[in-house]
């Protein structure tokens, strides 16, 4: 999936007197491990789009009444739906891990008098919050509480 950079990438606003060759990228630029991970991260957007469409279908079934709801629940047992939801779960975990790794260093050194906590603590807080929200959702959606 090699791709040339924009021919104007990093070109000066006024060309110099020397003829230059257009910028180039290594042929395997997009297939390098770090770039592959990044592209995979970007591609999860497609999964979220599809999850959004499924959510719309859920909302429509809710509005359409009990029969439509039951039909929807039955359709979710289809192996293709199970596969899709499994992929969506993996995508969410992958994005979460990448986001939590990169998020702490995007924090400003301080906001007014407040300094952010040390990065390891911030990491731990993010994972703890993620775990707590997941647990709360499982408890509510699983019918354990209320």
Site for another protein, rule CB under 8 A: 3, 5-6, 8-13, 16, 18-26, 28-29, 32, 34-35, 38, 42, 102, 105-110
Q: Whole-number minimum distance, CB 32 to another protein, in Å?
A: 7
Nearer to another protein, 9 or 133 (CB): 9
Q: Whole-number minimum distance, CB 41 to another protein, in Å?
A: 9
**Cβ partners under 8 Å of residue 92, min gap 6:** 44
Closest CA to 4 of 27, 38, 36: 27
Closest CA to 3 of 22, 39, 23, 30: 30
- Is-contact 123 100, C-beta < 8 A? yes
Three-point CA angle 74, 80, 86, nearest 5°: 100
**Burial bucket for residue 91 (CB in 10 Å: 0-12, 13-18, 19+):** buried
Q: Whole-number minimum distance, CB 107 to another protein, in Å?
A: 7
Q: Whole-number minimum distance, CB 129 to another protein, in Å?
A: 19
Nearer to another protein, 108 or 142 (CB): 108
Nearer to another protein, 32 or 57 (CB): 32
Nearer to another protein, 32 or 85 (CB): 32
């Amino acid at each position: 999936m090699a791709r040339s950079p924009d021919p104007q990438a990093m070109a000066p606003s006024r060309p110099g007197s020397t003829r230059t060759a257009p910028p180039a990228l290594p042929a395997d630029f997009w297939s390098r491990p770090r770039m592959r991970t990044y592209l995979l991260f970007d591609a999860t957007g497609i999964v979220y789009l599809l999850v959004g469409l499924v959510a719309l279908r859920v909302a429509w079934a809710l509005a359409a009444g009990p029969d439509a709801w039951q039909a929807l629940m039955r359709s979710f047992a289809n192996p293709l739906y199970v596969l899709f939801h499994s992929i969506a779960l993996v995508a969410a975990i992958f994005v979460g891990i990448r986001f939590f790794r990169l998020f702490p260093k995007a924090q400003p050194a301080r906001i007014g008098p407040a300094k952010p906590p040390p990065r390891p603590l911030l990491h731990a807080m993010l994972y703890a919050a993620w775990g707590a929200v997941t647990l709360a959702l499982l408890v509510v959606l699983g019918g354990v509480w209320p």
